[in-house]
Chains A and B, each alone.
Chain A
Amino acid sequence: MIVKDAVCPFCGCLCDDIEVEVEGGRVVAVTNACELGTTKFMGEKRMKNPILRDGNQWKEITCDEAVRYAADMLLDAERPLLYGWSGTHGEAQCVGVHMAELVRGVIDNTSSVCHGPSILAIQEVGHPGCTLGVVKNRADLVIYWGSNPIDAHPRHLSRYTRYAEGFFLENAFRDRKVIVVDVRRTETAEIADEFVQIKPGGDYAVLSALRAIVQGKTETIPRTVAGVTREQLVRVANLCKSAKFGAVYFGLGLTMTRGKYKNIRNAIELVSELSRHTKFTISAMRGHYNVYGSNEVNTWMTGYPFGIDFSRGIAFYNPGETTAVDILARKECDAALIVGSDPAAHFPRRCLEHLSEIPVVQLDPYPNATTAFCNVQIPVAVTGIDAEGTAYRMDGVPIRTRKVLSSDYLSDREVLLQMYTLMQEAKGQ
């Protein structure tokens, strides 16, 4: 059987033109997806049953037992953390918010260690953006800043920018200029029309220099800024101002380097400045396929995109105090439910030391680095493969992922609803 127009549950591009061939309950071939997506669709070695840590061993348990364990753990906790969420569908994220609210926990998603700084910048200065199709059809200038789509979002270039067809571009490949700004010559830099190499930590200064040039203050610019010559800066600023439609896509090279959210703020303000001259937009290259959905769900349910603390009944948000990293590093957290992410592979050592000392339950189809920290792991269906549900693309476009095959695994939503029901019963509701 061939499933057409399947939605790839890997990165924020959320490609929805995938063809998946299924035979005997397994994916046997994948067409149109990139290597990352194909690997995810073909994924093997799933965990079969829920497992419980028993001394130095794993013991298989039933799903009911695992759900009961998780519900009791959250009910007993004083400061429970519900973390992850970018690797699951929106319907499961909604249940997660209700659970956090019920036990007065902290709910946080992976953006706190990823594009959290971008969100902080947006909360200060806003976000002039657009859907990916607007860029595809119009942009004659695309800037990748601190992002390397060839590695991280392989089809971004072919679907939306460098190699994409565009309604208003007669010969899109020729008429569309691509600028790459990075600290090293990445593979994406090789296919750019202009490569701007910045000394590490120099992004903020370069953005400020470009803003000054756009404002007509070129004479204030020194001969070089963070290793970039004034001539190149002027050339780039002119390319921006003379473009009919410019689009900036930035990645963790800008959000997680020196300056952090100030870098993003500066980049957004550059785009706002350019909007006075021509059309310009800016957007984040979001990583996980549904990390943006997690921000969206949290926002309509609680008012905030990540790092929400319900300990006082109301939703309270203060990144630096209320994210997963914060409450683990301060050793406040006394139980953790992890859904659709792998914090052990990404969190600071101090956080992991604490994670190893508290009860942890994880919902994940595969064993991962966090498994080593778990007391219980519950394998679930993979959204986009054997479960369906809503995901939000990096530009905010919501797409319903398809189920390409059936399995006996429950979806994240189903497992979480069972937990939530037990928790409501225990709370007498």
Chain B
Amino acid sequence: MSELLVKNACVIDPLRGINAETMDIAIRDGRIVEEVSGAAEVIDARGMLTMPGGVDSHTHICGTKVNFGRYMSPEDMRAGRTPRRGPMHATSGYSVPTTYGNSYRYSVMGYTTLLEGAMAPLEARHTHEEFIYTPLQDTMANTLFDGNWAIMEAIRDGDTKRVAAIIAWTLRAVKGFGVKLTNPGGTEAWQWGKNVSCIRDPVPYFEVTPAEIIRSIVEANELLHLPHSVHLHCNNLGTPGNYTCTLGSFGLIPDLNPKRQTLYATHVQYHAYGGSGWKDFCSKSEPIANFVNMRPQIVIDMGQVMFGRTTTMTADGPMEFNLYRLHHDKWSNHDVELETGSGIIPVVYRRKNLVNSIMWAIGLELALLTKSPWQCLLTTDNPNGAPFVKYPEIIALLMSKRYRDAEFATVHPDTGSRVPLPAIERELDWYEIAVMTRAGQAKALGIQEIGKGHLGPGAYADVAVYPIRIDDVDPSVDYQKVIEAFGQTEYTIKRGRVVARRGECVVDGSNATFWVKPRVSEAYDMGKDPDFIEKFDRYYTVRMRNYPVQEEYLNRNRCIETEAEI
């Protein structure tokens, strides 16, 4: 039995409604408990800001395309390297760090749970292999269904139950967590070098539209009672005027689940653009945020852009090709048979560039104009908008109008006429930041009930203690202190053990992978469906028996079983 007591902590724990109360946190054998014995190890938090461990509900850290981002970018690897030291292995990389690099840097910032945003089912084994080498966070993977042939055929036949059955079989096979749609229909069209422009364009050959894919998969997701909602990367990312497409997609979504949202729309910054071209490009954060404010069934994340060099990577292959034609730097693409695709290019976001400056403003506007912090979560779509090490700066920007103004003075001078940002006075408070970086993310992922994102008895003892006393600091003025505090915890505690202390990781660590196994009736077991098996055998290049990810790839893992309605 191991016991730990974090004393005198200034706790913000939004899922329990606790806002800056001084209290002790008792931990036994990796879980939060009511109290511990006198023999417990004691950490005196001395009034420091203490919150549940950070949760990133959309980040790219492990798997085929992430690793290809490293593989093709020795210049990025050189831009961030540390030697083996104590229990820490050597790390490389700035925007796409090695697995250890990701894990250590997230841990130092207090993050204990990460969701890989896009896993191609055929290559799932790769994602799980990298999870094993991401030792200081629990991990889970969104699984891509945007260009899945069997699903598009079922949608064409109007058979939503079959759609659900295919999702159930696949999640179970690849040890996936949630359902991800990246440019639905567009990734299939891209395997012919084409794309879909918005939700009403039919996908070549399959003759279903993105709107039908989104609607049908949202319904299927709820039939399976998955913890997370459908996680959508809308069509038409990154193009001027795309906000109408985004609003059209949001408008498809009914309110189907009383516990959480019905749609998680990711990196919405990239989908909130006005204008008819790059010349009149402008922010449309207001109509998007207004729409979200009226729709409790929708949760978005920011996808904030920060200035500097990074690497963009997404399953949205056609978008990356368009970006390549703008930037003329190197370009990688990787289409995956019968399922999806991906693309990668390096980019630099510049303050002197008007479009980049507007993008930077839009992300902040979405967070400031969305009334409830539970509906707009803090992300950069790491590393697409910026590497996650920029989170502390984003937190400070959201908490300080003065900081925003100071930064705004350095961006392209025409930005002011294209964005509402300078007129927004709102400054988020500590509680709202806690929602946007852990509680809201856990709730949106549907993992609060299994003990993530809060510090209630029975929860996983994942705790972040930040070296800042919130009564002594006015974030709207002392934003530099906010950046420093969120950049490096005093203690990061993971499953009841101190894993990072003042910038150093102090244990080797061992993560857990969360995955979902929906239980379906015999009639909907795709593993026994003759048509599904026949098509699999004929058109995949991997045998059906060799496709599922074996138990060997899961360390310590937690399987979340659900009772499906099919």
Contact = CB atoms under 8 A, between A and B. Distances in A.
Interface of A: 4-5, 7, 16-17, 90, 94, 98, 101-102, 119, 122-134, 136-138, 159-160, 165, 167-168, 244-245, 272, 275-276, 278-281, 295-296, 299-305, 310, 312-315, 317, 390, 392, 396-400
Contacts of B126: 296, 392, 396, 398
Nearest to A398: B125
Interface stretch (B334-342, B367-375, B418-426, B513-521): B334-342
Contact of B98 (A132, A295, A303): A303
Contact of B77 (A128, A134, A296, A304): A304
A160 B540 CA distance: 10
Nearest to A127: B332
B296 to A, nearest CB: 39
Contacts of A390: 125, 129
**Which 4 A-B pairs rank lowest in CB-CB distance, beginning with the nearest?**
A133-B337, A313-B83, A303-B92, A303-B77
Residue picked from A101, A131, A168, A310, most chain B C-beta under 10 Å: A131
A119 B337 contact: no
A195 B97 CA distance: 44
Contact of A396 (B89, B123, B192, B543): B123
B344 interface: yes
User: Could you tell me the dominant secondary structure of chain B's interface residues?
Assistant: mixed
A314 B83 contact: yes
Contact of A397 (B90, B100, B123, B330): B123
Given A5-B543, A245-B192, A129 B334 contact: yes
Contacts of A272: 324, 331
Interface residues of B, number: 61
A279 B192 contact: yes
Nearest to A129: B334
Contacts of A4: 545
Interface of B: 62, 64, 67-68, 70-74, 77, 81-85, 89-93, 97-101, 122-123, 125-126, 129-130, 133, 191-193, 205, 321, 324-325, 330-338, 341, 344-345, 538-543, 545-546, 550, 552
- Which residue of A119, A126, A303 has the most chain B CB atoms within 10 A of its CB atom? A303
A5 B545 contact: yes
A98 B100 CA distance: 12
A162 to B, nearest CB: 15
A178 B82 CA distance: 48
B203 to A, nearest CB: 13
A94 B99 CA distance: 12
Contacts of B97: 303
18 contacts: A101-B90, A126-B344, A127-B332, A129-B332, A130-B333, A136-B539, A167-B539, A299-B70, A300-B130, A303-B74, A303-B77, A313-B83, A313-B90, A314-B92, A315-B81, A315-B98, A396-B126, A400-B552
Given A133-B540, A137-B539, A303-B70, 7 more contacts: A94-B133, A123-B74, A131-B335, A245-B193, A303-B92, A313-B90, A390-B125
B511 to A, nearest CB: 15
Contacts of B539: 133, 136-137, 167
B543 A16 contact: yes
B64 A302 contact: no
Contact of A315 (B90, B99, B330, B543): B90
Contacts of A276: 325
A245 B190 CA distance: 11
A5 B546 contact: yes
A293 to B, nearest CB: 10
A128 B543 contact: no
A122 B72 contact: yes
B89 A101 contact: yes
A296 B334 CA distance: 15
Contacts of B83: 312-314
A133 B89 CA distance: 37
A397 B542 contact: yes
B543 A17 contact: yes
Contacts of A305: 71
Given A300-B70, A303-B77, A126 B550 contact: no
A171 to B, nearest CB: 15
